[in-house]
A and B are shown apart, each in its own frame.
Chain A
Amino acid sequence: MDLTLRVWRQPGPTVPGRFVDYPAQDISADASFLEMLDVVNERLSARGEEPIAFSHDCREGICGSCAMMIDGVAHGPVRGAATCQVHMRVFADGSTITVEPWRSAAFPVIKDLVTERSALDRIIQAGGFITAPTGGARDANEILVAKDAAEAAMDAAACIGCGACVAACPNGSASLFTAAKIAHLGALPQGQPERSRRVLRMVAQMDEERFGHCTLFGECQEACPKLISIDVIARMNRDFLRACTSPPASAW
């Protein structure tokens, strides 16, 4: 396949960036999008040019590293797939592909397509955990978990924290991410003791990081490589409302 890449090049966080066109000729239709970028980068290096910087790690859709906007769609045109799971055969031969980094005030560009996404880590740090005693592992079936609770938690836990929900949201909201993490723990019995505190802290941190609000456009669900449902946002709001209107839990 012969393609033209229109890629955002930005040497550093404080330097202005611009789009640069690169020919990508003789690309295998079976190459993944990242492999195509590898080929283009090898050719750039051979010519002594700076390769296109992009984040990647597992290349099998589970790490959430490969974040880029491809032709105006987060993770490109394949539904329920991360960029690494998009193959070049889905593009028309001869087409021009626009590649941009995630755009969010909370995700500053480090270089080219690489963004700093530790804002999501700080939301997790604020409450995305359970306070469990350390030591020997408990028996797996010591705490009984209802099947529907396990399913709901598992569906939400599929989130790989890539930030596509933020990138795709017209408001730059991290609601789908935050709500998925809240639902993942809040659906399980182990997550109950800190349920109120968790939603209050994680929502506060989400706002602190300057993410936008949720208008329920639905773009996040469509962009999510794990297709996490916007149902989790309704659940987060209900938890938040309950936490704000009920007296703080007290042991006394």
Chain B
Amino acid sequence: MRPLVFYRSTVGKKIVMAVTGLILIGFVIVHMLDVTLAFRGPDAVNALGRFLHGTADELLWVVRVILLAAVILHIDAAWQLTRIARAARPTGYAERRPQVSTLAARTMRWGGVLLLVFIVFHLLHLTTGTLHPSFQPGDVYANLVTGFRVWPVALFYIAAMVALGLHLYHGAWSSVRTLGLTRPAANPFHRPLAIVIAVAVAVGFALVPLAVLVGWLR
């Protein structure tokens, strides 16, 4: 085992980003499936809320600790690598034409910053209720509906989900490659699974504030 050699190297830091990224992808998929229970009515989503905060309370905290650790490691590695990359090209090009890199790949950093801002707001909005106009602990459905009736908040959520979709479009594909789990491919940019994950997660989440805005969920 060479933990120091591993974390000091850029390859090791990227592997940390990939592993923590995959953990977070797993979380957003489960979370999206949970949240869309709102479309099956107040009882379904509130029952899940009661289960998570009652029966599974200890498990919930274990998951929260793992997610927090994953987020911290993900951001720390991203921060260090960004600094290394900036130092690697002190003088930029007068003219540069990207050939194949995707918008998703080129917005990983600022998109990630936007997602961090969103996560902080989201926790204060729908977990603690601090920034919620009429938060009722335990009534998940009512909190969603009253929370998203504030249209700037709903639009911010939808914009953040677009950023999440882009982040996943690159991240779900590149993390697996970074871990070296891929076989040689005729077209290494081909990413059917990443597209499905990115679209499903972004659309699934964004449907909830959208449905409140147009009055489907009330």
Q: Hey, which bits of chain A sit against chain B, CB under 8 A?
A: 8, 19, 69, 71-73, 98, 100, 103-106, 152, 168, 170-173, 200, 203-204, 206-207, 210-219, 221-223, 229-231, 233-241, 243-245, 247
Contact = CB atoms under 8 A, between A and B. Distances in A.
Given A218-B101, A229-B185, 13 more contacts: A8-B94, A98-B94, A98-B95, A100-B95, A105-B90, A200-B2, A212-B84, A214-B10, A216-B174, A222-B99, A234-B180, A236-B11, A240-B15
A229 B183 CA distance: 12
B179 A238 contact: yes
B14 A213 contact: yes
A223 B10 CA distance: 22
Interface in B123-161: none
Contact of A100 (B85, B94, B170, B182): B94
B85 A213 contact: yes
Contacts of A173: 10, 85, 88
A103 B93 CA distance: 7
A210 B89 CA distance: 9
A207 B80 CA distance: 13
Contacts of A216: 105, 170, 173-174, 177-178
Contacts of A210: 84, 87-88
Interface residues of B, number: 47
A72 B97 contact: yes
Nearest to A233: B177
B98 to A, nearest CB: 6
Contact of A212 (B88, B93, B100, B185): B88
B11 A203 contact: yes
A211 to B, nearest CB: 6
25 contacts: A104-B89, A170-B101, A171-B85, A172-B85, A210-B87, A212-B89, A213-B10, A213-B13, A216-B177, A216-B178, A217-B100, A217-B101, A217-B105, A219-B99, A221-B100, A221-B188, A223-B99, A229-B184, A231-B184, A231-B188, A233-B177, A237-B11, A237-B15, A237-B180, A245-B1
B27 interface: no
Contacts of A229: 184-185, 188
A240 B11 contact: yes
Contact of B177 (A69, A73, A100, A234): A234
